Amino acid sequence: MYALGISYSAPRNSCRAEDEGDAMIKTVWPYLAVMLLAAGIFPALERRTGWKVFAILPPIVLVYLSVTALAVLGLWQVNVEIQAAQKLLIAQLIPALLFLLMVNCDLRAIFALGPRVLAVFFSTTVSLFIAFVVTYLLFRNVLPAATGWQPLAAVSGSWVGGTANMVAVKQAIGMSDDALALGLLMDALCYSMWFVVLFSAARLAPAFNRWTRAESSANLVVAPTRQTGPTAAENVLLWLGLALLAAAGASWLAALLPTSDMFGTTTWTILIATVAGLVVAHTPLARFPGASPISGALLIGVVAVMASQSNFQGIATAPLYLLCGISIIALHALLLVLAAKLFRFDLYLCGIASMAHIGGVAATPILAASYAPALVPVGILLALLGYILGTGFGLLMATVLSSLAPI
């Protein structure tokens, strides 16, 4: 049985040369400088060049792989000072990141969508739950016996929420940094494939809606999404200060709560920081711009730090996890189509709900706009709802899958 609150310890990198005296970086500040540069270079290239490679491998995946390669080459020394910095950064930045992500989640606007839209969303969630369980049962005998379920549990957090939820689940279940690479690759490649399928399916909407006897949601009226202005320097300092304070407060409070095999201190910290962000989202503080871009920067920075501790061990199992991802999406699609027939859901809402889970807040508005401009706010709000639920879903999936693991 695993412990969700397992304490962090830096993994030993067996692929790195034993003689680390030749490493160029031996202190924390140059190491941090490399992490920041690596975290920023691929998002900058995507924004400025628009290369097609980013449609297949998003910047966050390329950051992870490039930093992992630098770690394997021994660019920095894995000494006590750098290990302590890695541990501190991950422990403090993950709850701060989740706090900032929740600040943009207005539950009142989400509930204003109405029962039909929320029914599609939760039908999608249930279909993914079933798809993950069935797929693991199909593949568990060829995946690593003890830890083969972990990348699937982490990806399930991402496929309800986003990459930040994957990172939170990874930290909570004690998954290795090497396994995170498998999850990121599975997430990126399968998501890209599914986005193309959903984008191409728009032309089938009239026939699909006749089959399900559903009315088109193209004219759906929803609550307006929150508008934010430009991010000023003082707002950056404000949100960073609040996020780090929330992370520290969550860690302090988590230490006072009872722990068990199901809920350790790390898990409590993550959940408390998430709730704190939701509370702040319904206060006047939420009107200050800046939480979203800062959370995006923190996310890719955390991924870079995690990659700096890993190596390419276990990458040979990547094709198996890609097959798992394809199986999960195929089963999810089949179950969602059956739910659409049963509850008379239209194709547009099904597609948007699916992308809100698997693609997240960045891709869903694009897909919604290709269906009908009026559905863009729906896509944004559903993707934000996924952020709220993603970590909890991933932890639930971890509990279920670990109980099904071969003994």
- pLDDT for res 376: 78
Q: Any bridge partners for residue 76, and if so which? A: 25
Q: Please report, as a single letter, which amino acid is at residue 44.
A: A
Q: Please report, as a single letter, which amino acid is at residue 313.
A: Q
Answer whether 0.85 is exceeded by the pTM.
no
CA atoms within 13 A on the CB side of 361: 24
Q: Please report, as a single letter, which amino acid is at residue 318.
A: A
What DSSP string describes 218-246? TT---PPPPP-----HHHHHHHHHHHHHH
- pLDDT for res 188: 83
- pLDDT for res 398: 94
20-404 topology per CATH = Na+/H+ antiporter like fold (1.20.1530)
- C-alpha span between 366 and 311 (Å, rounded): 34
Give the model confidence (pLDDT) of 288-305 as tens digits: 888 888 988 888 898 889
Q: What are phi and psi for residue 19, nearest 5 degrees?
A: -85, 100
- pLDDT for res 311: 60
- pLDDT for res 3: 37
Contacts 24+ apart (CB under 8 A), 312-319: 312/15, 312/68, 312/72, 312/178, 312/181, 313/14, 313/15, 313/178, 314/144, 314/176, 314/178, 314/179, 314/181, 314/182, 315/178, 315/181, 315/182, 317/143, 317/144, 317/182, 318/182, 318/185, 318/186
Domain boundaries, the chain: 20-404
Reduced to 3 states, what is the DSSP secondary structure of residue 25? strand
- pLDDT for res 312: 60
CA dihedral 196, 199, 200, 205 (to 10 degrees): 150
Residues of the chain predicted below pLDDT 50:
1-20
- pLDDT for res 38: 92
* Cβ neighbours for 4, distance < 8 A, ≥ 6 positions apart: 172, 173, 174, 261, 262, 263, 264, 266, 267, 395, 398
- pLDDT for res 7: 34
- C-alpha span between 22 and 293 (Å, rounded): 37
- pLDDT for res 10: 40
